[in-house]
């Protein structure tokens, strides 16, 4: 445990609304239906690739942004606009409660506008010219979409994009907790978004990290990840009638390797222990872990060791990446929403494609629906750079 975990610097925040989009659908109801049916969203890539892999592509195309937002209308920004629209009602209530400058926008992305840039660059290579519509500052930069969120939400508080690769969607929850605890904000729109990019797929292929079939987290023969796209937003408020609570967030580093996790999962363990310590919870208070569970040999083994050291009880551990794919910067936010769904709906989906389980994974990984009362759920996210985040979601 890190030194700072001895303090309890944050208080639970009310999640007064959330929205979600992934290969499973465009809203909460579609996700719930897919998870309950054990139906994966993974399938063939929507564009040609010189290698075989499965991806989790959005089953819908968010509409172009119009009017003054036209220049910002990347696929990423369009997905964000869709998510904001789905959060409209709780946002309206929040705007009535809090001053605009007391509502922050704290989000995460790893690809940012890379999808637009790679298409523009492809055109440049072919023709010697960038498309007239391409605008680096409004379409490529990590912060560009913040303008879209501010315009659509009316939030005028501090705004930034976290970009810590695959923990980017979980870390904004920690930022919001800090700023609200420090009296700097009353509410925040938080979450993570990423879109499918050719470059990302080629990059993970270069690392030999892609499975040829839909990913199989914790399976004995798993060979890697399936990349997905999507996003989730949560509206966090200082207090109020939350559907669930964000009780705490643990953040640590492996300080081990730029792209490989520590083989014993020490950083992952520290993140989980820090989340528990910040919330004043004991391991036995936790009912379920939504694992990072990417499907790579290294990640799943290391994470399983870490979870087994933290929890003596055989609590159910699942990976939902076999449904959505690894949505990179969106994963932490999407899986925090899945943690919320477990608490609200009282069921866990089967951990798809996990059977037969890797004998090194000494965890209870259910491969059929689990029903029960889940009061506290941990959601793990780990990333390049040895970046680890564990989010503790609680019942109100």
By CB under 8 A, the residues from 204 to 243 that bind another protein are 204-207
Task: Report if residue 159 touches another protein, rule: CB under 8 A.
Answer: yes
| Binding flags for another protein, 5-34, as an x/- string (CB under 8 A) | --x-xx------------------------
In angstroms, give the least distance from the CB of 17 to another protein. Answer: 23
Scan residues 354-393 and list those touching another protein (CB under 8 A): 383-387
Count of C-beta atoms within a 10 Å radius of residue 223: 16
Contacts from 162-165 at CB under 8 Å and sequence distance 24+? Answer: 162/106, 162/107, 162/108, 162/192, 163/108, 163/109, 163/110, 163/112, 163/329, 164/108, 164/110, 164/383, 164/385, 164/387, 165/110, 165/328, 165/329, 165/383, 165/384, 165/385, 165/387
In angstroms, give the least distance from the CB of 347 to another protein. Answer: 33
Task: Determine which residue in the list 198, 223, 281, 347 makes contact with another protein, applying CB under 8 A.
Answer: 198
Scan residues 271-330 and list those touching another protein (CB under 8 A): none
Scan residues 60-119 and list those touching another protein (CB under 8 A): 99-101, 110, 112, 114, 117-118
- The smaller minimum CB distance to another protein, of residues 33 and 182, is found at 182
Q: Which of 266, 326, 353, 376 is catalytic?
A: 326
In angstroms, give the least distance from the CB of 301 to another protein. Answer: 20
CB within 8 Å of 182: residues ≥ 6 apart: none
Residue 376 appears among annotated catalytic residues: no
Q: How far apart are CA 190 and CA 131, in angstroms?
A: 32
* Cβ proximity of 250 and 390 under 8 Å: yes
* Cβ proximity of 345 and 32 under 8 Å: yes
Residue 202 appears among annotated catalytic residues: no
Q: Are strands 230-237 and 55-56 parallel, antiparallel or unpaired?
A: unpaired
Residue 147 appears among annotated catalytic residues: no
Instruction: Count the residues of the shown chain that bind another protein, applying the rule CB under 8 A.
Output: 72
Scan residues 123-152 and list those touching another protein (CB under 8 A): 124-125, 130, 134-137, 140-144, 146
Would you please indicate which residues are annotated as catalytic (active-site) residues? 166, 292, 326
């Amino acid at each position: 445990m890190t030194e700072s975990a001895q303090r309890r610097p944050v208080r639970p925040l009310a999640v007064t609304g959330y929205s979600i989009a992934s290969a499973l659908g465009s809203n909460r109801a579609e996700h719930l239906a897919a998870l309950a049916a054990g139906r994966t969203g993974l399938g063939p890539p929507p564009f040609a690739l010189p290698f075989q892999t499965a991806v989790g592509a959005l089953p819908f195309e968010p509409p172009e942004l119009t009017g003054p937002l036209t220049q910002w209308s990347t696929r990423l920004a369009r997905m964000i606009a869709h998510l904001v629209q789905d959060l409209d009602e709780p946002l309206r209530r929040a705007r009535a409660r809090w001053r605009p400058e007391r509502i922050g926008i704290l989000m995460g992305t790893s690809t940012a506008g890379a999808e637009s840039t790679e298409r523009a660059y492809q055109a440049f290579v072919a023709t010697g010219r960038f498309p007239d519509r391409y605008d680096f500052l409004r379409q490529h930069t990590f912060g560009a979409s913040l303008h879209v969120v501010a315009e659509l939400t009316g939030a005028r508080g501090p705004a930034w994009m976290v970009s810590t690769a695959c923990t980017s969607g979980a870390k904004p929850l920690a930022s919001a907790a800090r700023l609200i605890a420090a009296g700097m904000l009353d509410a925040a729109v938080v979450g993570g978004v990423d879109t499918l990019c050719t470059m990302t797929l080629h990059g993970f292929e270069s690392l030999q990290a892609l499975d040829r079939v839909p990913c199989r987290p914790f399976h004995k023969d798993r060979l890697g990840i399936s990349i997905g796209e999507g996003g989730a937003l949560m509206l966090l408020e200082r207090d109020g009638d939350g559907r669930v609570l964000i009780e705490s967030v643990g953040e640590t580093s492996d300080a081990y390797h730029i792209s490989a996790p520590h083989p014993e999962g020490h950083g992952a363990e520290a993140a989980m222990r820090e989340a528990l310590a910040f919330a004043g919870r004991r391991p036995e208070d936790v009912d379920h872990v939504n694992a990072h569970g990417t499907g790579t040999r290294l990640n799943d083994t290391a994470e399983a060791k870490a979870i087994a050291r933290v929890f003596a009880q055989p609590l159910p551990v699942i990976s939902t990446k076999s449904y959505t794919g690894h949505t990179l910067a969106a994963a932490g936010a999407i899986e925090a929403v899945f943690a919320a769904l477990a608490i609200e709906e009282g069921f866990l989906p089967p951990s798809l494609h996990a059977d037969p389980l890797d004998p090194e994974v000494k965890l209870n990984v259910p491969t059929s629906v689990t029903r029960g009362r889940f009061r506290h759920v941990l959601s793990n996210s780990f990333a390049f750079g040895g970046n680890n985040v564990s989010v503790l979601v609680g019942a109100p």
